A and B are shown apart, each in its own frame.
Chain A
Amino acid sequence: MEIRPILSALMRSKVSMILIGLQVALTLAIVCNALFIIGQRLERMNRPSGMNETDTFWFGSTGFGQGYDAKAVQQSDLALLRQLPGVANATPSNSVPLSGGGWSTGLNLQPKQKTSTANTTIYIVDDHAIDTFATHLVAGRNFKREEVLPAEFGDRLQPSVIIVTKALADKMFPDGDALGKQIYMDEEPPTSTIVGIVDRLQQPWPESDTVEFATFVPAYMPYANSTRYLVRAEPGRRDEVMKTVEQKLIEANPSRIIGKLRTIEGTRKEAYAGDRAMAIILGVVIFALLAITALGIVGMASFWVAQRTKQIGTRRALGATKFDILRYFQTENFIITTMGLIAGGILAYAFSLWLMRNYQAPRLPWYYVPVGFVCLWLLGQLAVLGPALRASRVPPAVATRSV
């Protein structure tokens, strides 16, 4: 097809061509990287926490005044919670996944090991934990009632038995034989025996590199006068239970404060608010960018069409069909866009490199740029379609008129 005349016409308005090309280039580079970031965030947000999120909620209880017996209250609270209508199960737990605050410690295979084999979060719970979190045992057994011992906060934590997540078990014992093994939670003996492995449970910190390294430790251990409880309601009855819990607990023991009741769904939302915001902001920028670029192409093409009305009329008078004219403008746009896209491809990788260097971002996967090429080609062709159709409708008679 007639590339030569198109090129020579383009060379006469080099600056406009460069401007459109530059716009396309920047758009491609930004859109590729922004889409990649959005993809990463969505992936993070979609990771399962390993627990039942829809029916569970958690809260803290803090006693006050002299003579408040946190351990006794904990026992009576648990008994009360578990027999409340609508409650499936309840456990004390110092923290919950996604909450942002918790306890982490190193696990060792040897006494006095210099660097820990793995870092884990610790959920201090009782024998109802697996059922309350609704995580699943894949090997071994649950804690026995008599293994859950009272402990003082701040004392050495050296439980005789622990339950770990599969991810943590595989890290500590890559051969897959973690069950029954001894590990050190402290520098010195006694050791703790892995009696159970659950399929999955996240740490409280979604940004953690080792987000699925979690350990259940059996103990009744209030934090000073405070205890946190995790409660799983029967399916569909969470909100109903949440309404009555505070009042029932206060009635049972008025010298304490029940903190805000928070659903795990709400906790998840808060945990990923930043990622969600980033994805939305980038999405809006991508949309605006594509719109501006498309409108820019429309504007520029309209001007070219207007500028060349006479020329078009002449071509039509000399025998060019409407389709020839249409094709001329579509091809012209294709050439400009392609040049912009080539520059944009390089720029996209340059941006990615800059993000990698300054923000420890992962490398942009190669396929983003080709997919971006196709999208922007389509965008360009669609944007130019309107002005090109208008051009194709210029009557040949225009050639005979003077300006």
Chain B
Amino acid sequence: MFAYYFQLGLRSLRRNPVLTALMVIGIALGIAASMTTLTVMHLMGSDPIPWKSDKLHYVQLDNWDVNNPYYDDGRPPDQVTYKDATALMEAGKADKQAAMFKIALPIQPENPEVKPFQSLGRATYADFFAMFEPPFAFGGGWDRRQDSEHARVIVLTRETNEKLFGGQNSVGKTVRMNGIDYSVVGVLGNWKLRSRYYDLTNGAFADMEEFFIPYTAAIDLKQRSSGNNSCFKTSGDGWDAYLQSDCVWQQMWVQLDSPARLAEYKSFLDNYVNEQKKLGRFERPLNNRLLNVTEWMRDQRVVSRDVEVQTGLGFAFLAVCLVNTIGLLLAKFTRKSGEIGLRRALGASRRQVFTQFLIESGVVGLSGGFLGLLLTGLGLLAVRALYTEYKTVAALDWTMVATTVLLAIAAAVIAGLYPTWRACRVQPAAQLKV
């Protein structure tokens, strides 16, 4: 029977090609608008490390100006000071911990054919690699001993290794940056992050770093971070004064493997800040935070307001398209009252009429869905052209493809339900009188 109804549906749709096209295009446009925006929003906000995002916590301490909070709504600063980061690293109370900051250094390649170039990197601790789990193509990260030895070692990303060593295993070779040699201990594999969630202050969708070096070795360079630095009072003259200052410029992440460990770490932080208060720092009320990855992404609005508004708009547009389709199907089915009456009089049950017309709307939905999927692809291409930094979040994945098709069919069936219900209430007798 299904095949027969399907055929009937197709035939009926062919009879009014313009109207059918109108309905299909309506659904397709609605689906494309809502799915394009939803895909961007979904990928932007998606959990980048689902298996441990609830174990990784971002440390925030409120060392800010007693008269003016860092954020107007009273949230603590989004970064920490050198002083606090190193104190927390030394205490080592978390299961794993990594302070970090962004650094720019000129690379001087050995190969004379490659011009020296400026590169962005990250200074961090050994635990970074165990915490954020980048894949390694060669070698691995450095170890905690090398952290304490201020070792001049380096981990290259795949792209940098490609540029410097033609993609060969470069472990053991050296890279010269600003006149200092670092020996390669590891080369990352293909590490594609949708958002660089471990440093949201310096742009979730900014370019990835090109190398990683030990934090301790980077501090020896006496070079400031190339990322955001915020101070509420001047730090005084010179590098040492800067390190001792209340300027925030570093990110501090800890891994806490259980809720109990999280609670312990919280009280440790409170104690730490209370101790510091005795020394005259932290004049604001206790305001420590340990947000996990997804909470931190929400706090820092990784999904921008514009994207949220666009998604809302996309779905409002879909609603208009659906209302449009309901109206058109209703008009169409109403015109077919005579045909329905005839079929009912010839013995078709209400249920059969219902199935037949629901399939007809289903066919509209399916065609609309596939066309919509195509248009969603185009829409995402357009988004990528409009927002060049959204390369990683404007792409279809299988979940979104499936969602699109399901949404389209659901939309068309919902749109078809009322008209179908009306159609099968047709009284055969009323229609057969002419």
Interface, chain A (partner B; CB < 8 A): 15-16, 19-20, 22-23, 26-27, 30, 34, 37, 60, 62-66, 114-115, 152-157, 186-187, 223-225, 256-257, 259, 273-274, 276-278, 280-282, 285, 288-289, 292-293, 295-296, 299-300, 302-304, 306-307, 355, 359, 402-403
Are the C-beta atoms of A224 and B328 separated by less than 8 Å? no
- Residues of the B chain whose Cβ atoms lie less than 8 Å from the Cβ of A259: 118
Q: How far is the CB of A249 from chain B (nearest CB, A)?
A: 13
Are the C-beta atoms of B328 and A359 separated by less than 8 Å? no
Q: Is B242 an interface residue (CB 8 A)?
A: yes
Given A154-B242, A299-B327, A355-B309, does the pair A26, B320 have CB atoms closer than 8 Å? yes
Residues of B330-366 at the interface with A, using a CB-CB cut-off of 8 Å, are: 330-332, 334-335
Are the C-beta atoms of B238 and A359 separated by less than 8 Å? no
- Residues of the B chain whose Cβ atoms lie less than 8 Å from the Cβ of A34: 313
Closest 8 pairs (CB-CB, A-B): A277-B386, A303-B331, A19-B327, A64-B106, A296-B324, A114-B67, A65-B179, A155-B237
Given A19-B326, A20-B327, does the pair A285, B434 have CB atoms closer than 8 Å? no
Q: Is B116 an interface residue (CB 8 A)?
A: yes
B146-181 Cβ-contact flags toward A at 8 Å (1 or 0):
000000000000000000000000000000011100
- Residues of the A chain whose Cβ atoms lie less than 8 Å from the Cβ of B22: 295-296, 299
- Residues of the B chain whose Cβ atoms lie less than 8 Å from the Cβ of A115: 67-68
Which one, B177, B314, B327, contacts A23 given CB within 8 A?
Answer: B327
Are the C-beta atoms of A187 and B233 separated by less than 8 Å? yes
Q: How far is the CB of B313 from chain A (nearest CB, A)?
A: 6
Are the C-beta atoms of B309 and A154 separated by less than 8 Å? no
Q: How far is the CB of B194 from chain A (nearest CB, A)?
A: 18
Interface, chain B (partner A; CB < 8 A): 19, 22, 26, 29-30, 33, 67-68, 104, 106, 108, 115-118, 177-179, 223-224, 233-239, 241-242, 304-306, 308-310, 313-314, 316-317, 319-321, 323-324, 326-328, 330-332, 334-335, 383, 386-388, 418, 422, 434
- Residues of the B chain whose Cβ atoms lie less than 8 Å from the Cβ of A295: 22, 26, 324
Q: How far is the CB of B34 from chain A (nearest CB, A)?
A: 11
- Closest A residue to B304 using CB positions: A274
Are the C-beta atoms of B106 and A257 separated by less than 8 Å? yes
- Closest A residue to B331 using CB positions: A303
- Residues of the B chain whose Cβ atoms lie less than 8 Å from the Cβ of A224: 223-224
Q: How far is the CB of A73 from chain B (nearest CB, A)?
A: 14
Q: What CA separation (Å) do A155 and B236 show in the bound complex?
A: 6
Q: How far is the CB of B377 from chain A (nearest CB, A)?
A: 16
- Residues of the B chain whose Cβ atoms lie less than 8 Å from the Cβ of A27: 320
Which one, B235, B327, B388, contacts A16 given CB within 8 A?
Answer: B327
Are the C-beta atoms of B235 and A65 separated by less than 8 Å? no
Are the C-beta atoms of B332 and A303 separated by less than 8 Å? yes
- Residues of the A chain whose Cβ atoms lie less than 8 Å from the Cβ of B238: 152, 154-155
Given A285-B317, A295-B26, does the pair A273, B178 have CB atoms closer than 8 Å? no
Q: What CA separation (Å) do A299 and B330 show in the bound complex?
A: 11
Are the C-beta atoms of B327 and A300 separated by less than 8 Å? yes
Given A289-B320, A292-B320, A402-B434, does the pair A16, B331 have CB atoms closer than 8 Å? yes
- Closest A residue to B338 using CB positions: A403
- Residues of the B chain whose Cβ atoms lie less than 8 Å from the Cβ of A257: 106, 115-118
14 further A-B pairs in the complex, CB-CB below 8 A; given A23-B324, A157-B234, A282-B310:
A19-B324, A26-B323, A34-B313, A63-B106, A66-B179, A156-B234, A187-B234, A273-B386, A280-B386, A281-B310, A299-B19, A299-B22, A300-B331, A355-B309
Q: How far is the CB of A390 from chain B (nearest CB, A)?
A: 13
Which one, A23, A306, A402, contacts B320 given CB within 8 A?
Answer: A23
Q: What CA separation (Å) do A234 and B19 show in the bound complex?
A: 61
Q: How far is the CB of A122 from chain B (nearest CB, A)?
A: 13
Q: What CA separation (Å) do A299 and B334 show in the bound complex?
A: 14
- Closest A residue to B36 using CB positions: A281
Q: What CA separation (Å) do A289 and B318 show in the bound complex?
A: 9
Q: How far is the CB of B16 from chain A (nearest CB, A)?
A: 9
Best-surrounded residue of A19, A20, A26, A280 (most CB of chain B within 10 A): A19
Q: What CA separation (Å) do A277 and B309 show in the bound complex?
A: 13
Are the C-beta atoms of A285 and B313 separated by less than 8 Å? yes
Q: What CA separation (Å) do A289 and B314 show in the bound complex?
A: 10
Are the C-beta atoms of B179 and A16 separated by less than 8 Å? no
Best-surrounded residue of B236, B331, B386, B388 (most CB of chain A within 10 A): B331
